């Protein structure tokens, strides 16, 4: 779901002003949820966006729908950033730069996912389209890094995804221990590299 996609399947496309309002709400909601946690209220988000609460609920009928849209938007932006890295950095560094970006953003993403799961939302289903885009980006970055000879050839996307998820959890576990986190991340990165 992008900012220009209607919030409900089969709904009419949004007018330009409604698209702007929706995009603004997503931007503000992401800022508020990131700064204040997922317990922040929709009223607070409406206040920060300078809109009425009815505008929030017109686009997002529940707080969970808003949180889900924010999470999907974050994943979509990560996928876009992966493509940008591939174009700008090239195959020798893009995969590692993307890996670091995902790991660095994981605490907020995981908090959003946990709040949604706690509310009974099937997070995997809700983020399936964005998850596919992330998988495509990982495939492209891994293929490029392997062709460039910087990443081991026996690694495939399922293992890379599992390593990425595990590294994100590891970094959460090492929160407050920056030197240990730096060493652990280096160990993971070294394990991905092609043997000389």
* pLDDT one-digit tens code per residue, 119-169: 999 999 999 999 999 999 999 999 999 999 999 999 999 999 999 999 999
Say how far apart CA 158 and CA 155 lie, in whole Å: 8
Of 90, 64, 65, 73, the C-alpha closest to 133 is 73
- Containing structural domain, residue 113: 74-192
Residue 68 lies in a domain: no
Among 11, 31, 61, identify where a domain stops. 61
Alpha carbons 21 and 11: distance in angstroms, whole number: 17
Phi-psi category of residue 37: left, alpha or beta, with phi > 0 → left and psi -120 to 50 → alpha: left
**Using one digit for the tens of pLDDT, what is the confidence trace for 29-59?**
999 999 999 999 999 999 999 999 999 999 9
| pTM for this entry | 0.83
Query: Is residue 47 one of the residues assigned to a domain?
Result: yes
Task: Count how many residues are written for the chain.
Answer: 196
Spacing of C-alpha 25 from chain mean position = 17
Query: Is 6 in the same domain as 54?
Result: yes
Task: Tell me: do 94 and 185 sit in the same domain.
Answer: yes
Residue 67 maps to a domain: no
The predicted structure's pLDDT at residue 20: 85
Same domain for 56 and 86: no
pLDDT of residue 174: 93
Q: Are residues 47 and 109 in the same domain?
A: no
In terms of domains, do 27 and 103 share one? no
Residues 40 and 79 in one domain: no
In this predicted structure, the answer to whether residue 4 has a pLDDT above a threshold of 50 is no
User: What tokens appear for 152 in the block?
Assistant: 């081991």
Per DSSP, 15 falls in state: P
Residues 34 and 88 in one domain: no
CATH number for position 183? 1.10.357.10
Best CA proximity match to 29, nearest among 66, 58, 64: 66
Q: Please state the domain count of the chain.
A: 2
């Amino acid at each position: 779901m992008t900012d220009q996609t209607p919030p409900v399947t089969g709904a009419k496309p949004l007018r330009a002003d409604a698209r702007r309002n929706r995009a603004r709400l997503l931007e503000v909601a992401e800022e508020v949820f990131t700064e204040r946690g997922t317990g922040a209220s929709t009223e607070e988000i409406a206040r920060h966006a300078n809109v009425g609460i009815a505008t929030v609920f017109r686009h997002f009928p529940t707080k969970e729908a808003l949180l889900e849209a924010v999470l999907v938007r974050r994943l979509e932006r990560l996928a876009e950033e992966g493509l940008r890295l591939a174009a700008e950095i090239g195959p020798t560094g893009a995969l590692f730069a993307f890996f670091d970006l995902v790991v660095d953003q994981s605490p907020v993403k995981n908090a959003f996912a946990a709040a949604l799961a706690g509310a009974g939302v099937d997070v995997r289903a809700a983020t399936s389209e964005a998850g596919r885009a992330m998988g495509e980006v990982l495939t492209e970055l891994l293929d490029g890094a392997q062709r460039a000879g910087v990443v081991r050839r026996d690694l495939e996307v399922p293992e890379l995804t599992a390593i990425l998820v595990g590294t994100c959890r590891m970094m959460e576990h090492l929160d407050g221990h920056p030197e240990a986190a730096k060493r652990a991340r280096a160990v993971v990165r070294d394990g991905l590299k092609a043997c000389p």
